[in-house]
Structure 1
């Protein structure tokens, strides 16, 4: 089909007007090549739906912050485009003529995908997914990703009614901090040999620390919705409407005033859930700018549920540090963790003399391969920090400290927040199954993940 594509465009090159179409087709194919080259050189894997969702949900700031990783793939993309145009021009001059043989060859790249589709639909597909056999082979991933986004955006129109039972007074300020790309392996709180979390270390006696927490997915756009809603990984690909059964809608119906405060730019899937908050604010700047917003949110004497979505150690971690930040000889990643710890210091100081509980978990970890920090499906990249901190005025019946050593999926946040709101949590919840949603959007057993 690729050879057919070349011949097809050689015909288009024979006319100065249709040659414009040929150039556009070649540029699109080069972008398709760029995606493949980037995945191979950076992630050592193929492209998938999860990655397509990340691209669809990305924004200019995020794209710019990660652009340094794509210099080599970008150069190869331009080289590929040049070779493509040179080859097509050569075929136009020396090989391709208007006869039946070349016309037939030129149409194969358009005909064969349709034939594959018919075979896939009516003969046999060997149990596979959507047909992807065409020269623009990443198109299917983007089409599915876009369909997912449309379904998720429809959530804002579907507000469920929860069957909830209040069994005791809740904590006044229930605060969830969602971190970004933070590896527990790089935190001194979890035994790392560099002092990356000095202030959090001091607070360990006032916290419940989950020693073996794991994320339900390897990218933000999958893990955060799974953490914040009761949808099961088995349902995520086909029952997106169940994302409306999320902790924000539950808080709203439980008498809590809900807040979503974020230093991360809008992303459609997560923003669909965030939009259900009664108070929403996206603020620009380094993560420390979220502290004044928190101070404003807790002023009023009422029950409040506040989600703080921070940039944390999002790639590129060097961009997460203020210009005057002293890295003390640490690399950018470790330094970004220490900077997040300094933000926690300000948050904990703000809430010390209040009836507040702070739950912190990172959306996912990262896998280290050489000098790269990668979003991939692996046990290494699911190991995340997860802990609970208490203000001085939290009632004794809620103040449970120490270490939880068994494996705990961060989807446990949902019933944990229910408990802190004074609600009766479910007897059994999806975190018990430790199911993982991989980048192919398929649910799998956590133990089957590669190391």
Structure 2
């Protein structure tokens, strides 16, 4: 008996060593470096699987099933290292360990509950485990990109309709093939799992299986801080920041009222128009070879228009951009988002009547900081009523002109207009009369048509607001651009510089241009300076002559002589990339 136990221990030790070094070899092949430091979790996974295998009558079938499921779950590491350098090795090791421990836990759970619970519950357990490889492989083969936390956050803050449009534009046959392949392999694993039988007649079986479940679950918990799950944790952390932003709304408003300095007798109407997914690289007013912006091209010839040639977006997704652009938070300060006062909060405290007009979907009352900011407006009109259903608008952007004309106007007012603009699917953003670029490829042609229609819409908005007796100026900027030629949209995980090439311009009334001639001259002399759109908040405060100590930043206000135009400091993707890379 002692000899038999000794052999079991010897063989068990050899199995553990073999599995452990095999896992080290896999990680070394993936990263291109010999990996052995901080690999204790791999050793622990090897020990757990070998010891657990003795609870089964057919250990060989157990190892095959465990290996197949573990490989399926861990296969996403190949995607990461195929697209990235050999960084974050420790977090990758932890995910590999997590995958193997999770596989062990799933097999144990199915074996234990096979006769005690409904089968669909166990199938659901396996499907939940497969979400990671399905999402990451489907996304990789469709977009040739890593499914990063920014991507997940964008998905979490969108709706089913927008997801459908995105998939119709970018999802590929290879992506679908990957999902089908994973499902087929999972089906084979599932069949094998049903035939991997526990040796229930063993002494103290219940104690052993309970211990195995506890150890496997604990090992999964200990390795939860890993390369893949951190994608979800980071997205959740950002969502929590957004929730905190809403909770602190009353406190922020109180701080503004206490610290606001008198903004003089500044009167007038200021209009802020926010474009969507618009690239200046596809605007003829910025040098594009197709005449996509005829009105803007003529407007730029007038003395009361200023075109900014080096404007960049601070991110490539709408929510991160506007969260910064419309609050005191930016890439260059240390302010916590929840403490960052919004533009509308400040304007209201300074005595401005505020209005928010949008053709974007209002997902729910408090989904994002954008809806929190918009909720502060005294007057609101959301013309896209398909909340949570689709991004196919009830009307094209020109319908916002009716909303604009319906506003109750005052002599001191801030009007924010958020267009649907050039958001994909591009062909949904313009009426048929604007489908003029049929000689180009479908995607590029549709995008250029949407740019042409956007130019028409903005021209009509400007034509109306300039006729208002108290009109001061209209400021236009896009949240981000789309990499249309590269067919990448604006996905941050597949970042290219064209995603940040946004238009920005200001049109002044003749009265304002004369009254604030010094400021207008500063802006004209700054039109070629680098600017990121997370600084819109400071520009608006400068134009509206609102001064709040410790909130307004003159070094980040391009209307000020103190604006810091050093190109070395400008960033995008929330500080991950420097604009100077694109300018070199």
Q: TM-score range by the shorter chain?
A: 0.7 to 0.9
Per-residue deviation, 1:324: 4.6
1:123 paired residue number: none
Structure 1's 13 and 234: CA in aligned 2 closer, same or farther, altered over 3 A? farther
Matched, 1:320 2:429: yes
CA shift in 2, pair 1:444/1:372, >3 Å: closer
Distance 1:70 1:108 in 2: 40
Q: Secondary structure at the match of 1:344?
A: helix
Query: Is contact 2:151–2:491 with CA below 8 Å preserved after alignment?
Result: no
Alignment counterpart, residue 161 of structure 1, candidates 240, 255, 262: 255
1:348 to 458, 462, 477: 462
Q: In the TM superposition, what whole-angstrom CA distance separates every residue of 1:205-254 from its partner, at most 9, and x where no partner exists?
A: 23111100011112111111111111133668x822123x1211110011
The 1-side partners of 2:425 and 2:355 are apart by 27
User: What is aligned with 1:15?
Assistant: 115
- Pair 82,148 (structure 1): closer, same or farther in 2 beyond 3 Å: farther
Are 1:428 and 2:555 counterparts?
Answer: yes
2:481 to 342, 365, 387: 365
- Which one of the candidate residues 239, 261, 269 is aligned to 2:357? 261
Residue in structure 2 matching 1:292, options 375, 392, 402: 402
1:233 and 1:412 map into 2 onto residues whose CA distance is: 9
Does residue 197 (structure 1) correspond to residue 293 (structure 2)? The answer is yes
Aligned length: 432
2:222 maps to 115
TM-score (norm 2): 0.66
Query: Which consecutive residues of structure 1, in runs of 5 or more, have no partner in the other structure?
Result: 118-130
CA distance in 1 between partners of 2:265 and 2:557 (Å): 26
| Alignment check: 8 A CA contact 2:435 2:446 kept | no
Pair 1:379 & 2:480 matched: no
Shift in Å, 1:137: 6.4
Higher helix share: 2
Give the structure 1 partner of residue 323 of structure 2. 225
Q: How big is each residue's C-alpha offset from its partner over 1:365-413, in whole Å with a ceiling of 9 and x where there is no partner?
A: 2334643323224433212101001235435133637571121122332
Within the alignment, does 1:37 sit opposite 2:137 as a pair? Answer: yes
Say which of 333, 336, 339 aligns to 2:453. Answer: 339
- Taking the aligned partners of 1:84 and 1:116, their CA distance within structure 2 comes to 23
Shift, 1:35, TM fit: 2.6
CA–CA distance in structure 1, aligned partners of residues 451 and 276 of structure 2: 10
User: How far 1:66 moved relative to its partner?
Assistant: 1.4
The C-alpha deviation readout for 1:250-277, integer Å capped at 9, x for no partner, is: 1001111011111111252311221222
Q: Larger Rg: 1 or 2?
A: 2
Higher strand share: 1
Q: The residue matched to 2:187 in structure 1 has which SS?
A: helix
Instruction: Measure the CA separation in 2 of the matches of 1:234 and 1:89.
Output: 55
Aligned to 1:408: 531
Aligned-residue offset at 1:13: 6.9
Deviation for aligned residue 1:178? 0.9
Moved more, 261-270 or 206-215: 261-270
Q: Provide the secondary structure at the position in 1 that maps to 2:310.
A: strand
Choose 361-370 or 194-203, whichever is displaced more. 361-370
Q: Distance in 2 between matches of 1:302 and 1:281?
A: 20
Question: Which has the higher relative contact order, 1 or 2, with Cα contacts under 8 A spaced 6 or more apart?
Answer: 1
Q: State the Cα distance separating 1:278 from its structure 2 match.
A: 1.9
Give CA-to-partner distance per residue, 1:39-89, whole Å, 9 cap, x none. 423443323332222122112332232131335435533442342133122
Matches within 5 A, 1:30-179: 30-68=130-168, 69-70=170-171, 72=173, 73-74=175-176, 76-94=178-196, 110-116=217-223, 131-132=225-226, 138-158=231-251, 159-162=253-256, 163-166=259-262, 168-179=264-275
Distance 1:391 1:436, change over 3 A: same
> Residues 413 and 149 of structure 1: is their aligned pair in 2 closer, same or farther, counting only changes over 3 Å?
closer
Question: Which ranges in structure 2 are unaligned for 5 or more consecutive residues?
Answer: 1-98, 385-394, 559-563
Q: CA RMSD in A?
A: 3.2
Residues 303-358 of structure 1 show CA distances to partners (whole Å, capped at 9, x for unaligned) of 11011111111122122122454333251111111111010121121123232311
How high is the TM-score relative to the length of structure 1?
Answer: 0.84
Indicate if the aligned counterparts of 1:12 and 1:18 stay in contact, CA closer than 8 A.
Answer: no
